[in-house]
Amino acid sequence: MIRTCVITGTTHGIGTVAAREIARAGYRVIMAVRDHARGQRLRDDIVDTTGNGEVSVVTLDLASLASVRDCAANVLAIAPNIHLLVNNAGMMSAKRELTIDGHELMFATNHLGPFLLTQSLLERIVASAPARIVNVASRAHFHGQFDFDDLTLARHFAGMAAYRRSKLANVLYTKALARRLEGSGVTVNCLHPGVVATNIIPANSPILSFFAPLAKKFMLSPDRGTRTLLSLALGTDAEDINGAYFNQDGKAVPASAAACDEALQERLWRLSAELTGAPLECR
């Protein structure tokens, strides 16, 4: 039976490399992207370069809960099995923006959207076990903090702090989900890809955009920055590891104290279920 992968955010950066390599490994790949036309062009290119014709595109805007629900329904309609889910898409912004659902943009795109997508696909993933979920977090999570009284960051906004909070949420969610998946045959892990020369530098920051071309010369290439992701997705080393945080060299390392705080993990889980309407328990 052909194995199926769902991967988000393949139109740029790490996701482009990852989708191609997962297709090369023989998976049926469903790419969930915001820019459908660009996704189709990438799809054609991946089919040409890998010889794997089982690559398709679905539309997903993680900043809209309605779009995430539609995407999940579309994926469930075309994928009888899901053996690998890669939550890769993410973004950084220098400005405070709220989504159509009223959530802070980075918290919504980097955490709430992936949370809802994963929870919506989870039953299918568990039924397809052995299966894996890979969440692209960041070492930025080490400085992340939650103020549950100011979720939209109305009192104080700083772009980097908002991004760090969203990446802390990725690690907290990974650990809370791993606990629930124990014994199911499904593992979930997260990773820091390294500092990688991609489009992640916010275009709406004049200073960062100015320095980006120079800074990129000192960053990892997207090929190198995809190594840990691919090892977690396809490799055998981490096959039985569940709930861990991996660094850019593919090693499981301790996550931040906040990320390992079970009470915080559970509080974020309840909040995310409430804000997205996802079921509180997953199986």
Residues that bind ligand NAP (CB under 6 A): 8-15, 34-35, 60-63, 88-91, 109, 136, 138, 192-193, 195-196, 198-200
Can you read off the two tokens belonging to residue 231?
Answer: 């090892």
Task: Verify whether residue 173 is a known catalytic residue.
Answer: no
What separation in angstroms does the CA of 203 have from each of 17, 34, 54, 94, 95? Answer: 22, 17, 34, 8, 10
How many other CB atoms are found less than 10 A from the CB of residue 162? 25
Please, which residue, 128 or 168, has the CB nearer to ligand NAP? 168
Helix and strand counts by DSSP (H, E) for the chain = 10, 8
Please, which residue, 99 or 128, has the CB nearer to ligand NAP? 99
Shortest Å, Cβ 105 to ligand NAP: 8
Dihedral sign of CA atoms 122, 8, 78, 46 in order: negative
Shortest Å, Cβ 175 to ligand NAP: 17
Dihedral sign of CA atoms 257, 208, 61, 228 in order: negative
User: Strands 252-253 and 55-59, how do they pair?
Assistant: unpaired
Residue pair 36/60 in contact (Cβ under 8 Å)? The answer is no
Looking at residue 3, its amino acid is R
Shortest Å, Cβ 187 to ligand NAP: 19
Please, which residue, 9 or 159, has the CB nearer to ligand NAP? 9
Shortest Å, Cβ 85 to ligand NAP: 14
Residue positions annotated with a catalytic role: 163
